[in-house]
Homo-oligomer: A and B are copies of this chain.
Amino acid sequence: MSRRSGILEFAVLGLLRESPMHGYELRKRLNTSLGVFRAFSYGTLYPCLKSLVANGWLVEEAGSAPEDARAASMAGRRAKIVYRLTAEGKEHFEELLSHTGPDTWEDEHFAARFAFFGQTSRDVRMRVLEGRRSRLEERLEKMRASLARTRERLDDYTLELQRHGMESVEREVRWLNELIESERAGRDKRPGPDQ
């Protein structure tokens, strides 16, 4: 069946696992609670929800309207449609959570995975974290190599852009190092009484 974006599907399933919600609210939480996710539009979200229902992973329930949502819709009126995760949906999400493939270290994918770390076992967390780190280290290696090859021919601005880009990646690697360290030590919280 049609369009299922992987990352959106994953995020929706993960959010609905905590509590049932309707589409509008779901969309807000993709930006706020999960902060890092970009704002998917309704044109993306609603068809995705329909598709998840068709897969049996979600069910539509009556919202705050007095009548049943679907019946009301058919009669011309519209009401909130609250989506709830089914047992199959839960199982499917569990499966997605335990899967750690190369795609998982991708920028956006990684953020989504991280946001649901609370629902994951430690060894999965470690695999995701370490995979992400080595992916970033590869990227860093390429940047260094290309910089070494072309340094002279570049003007100051291009150079500065590259320098800043590399520094950003290096910074994320250090962050991952701390997190991995922290996982190894068996702590969930970050060390340091700062804040």
Contact = CB atoms under 8 A, between A and B. Distances in A.
A147 B156 CA distance: 38
A171 interface: yes
Contacts of A171: 168, 171
A157 B114 contact: yes
Q: Give the size range of A's interface with the partner.
A: 35 or more
A123 to B, nearest CB: 16
A154 B33 contact: yes
A76 interface: no
A59 interface: no
Given A115-B161, A161-B115, A175-B164, A189 B36 contact: no
A157 B116 CA distance: 8
Contacts of A179: 160
Contacts of A36: 161-162, 165
A161 B114 contact: yes
Interface in A170-195: 171, 175, 179, 188-190
A158 B190 contact: no
A111 B162 CA distance: 10
A145 to B, nearest CB: 9
A35 B143 contact: yes
Interface string A125-136: 000000000000
A190 B163 CA distance: 11
Given A156-B189, A171-B171, A190-B160, A147 B35 contact: yes
A73 interface: no
B153 A33 contact: yes
Interface of A: 31-36, 111, 114-118, 143, 146-147, 149-150, 153-158, 160-162, 164-165, 168, 171, 175, 179, 188-190
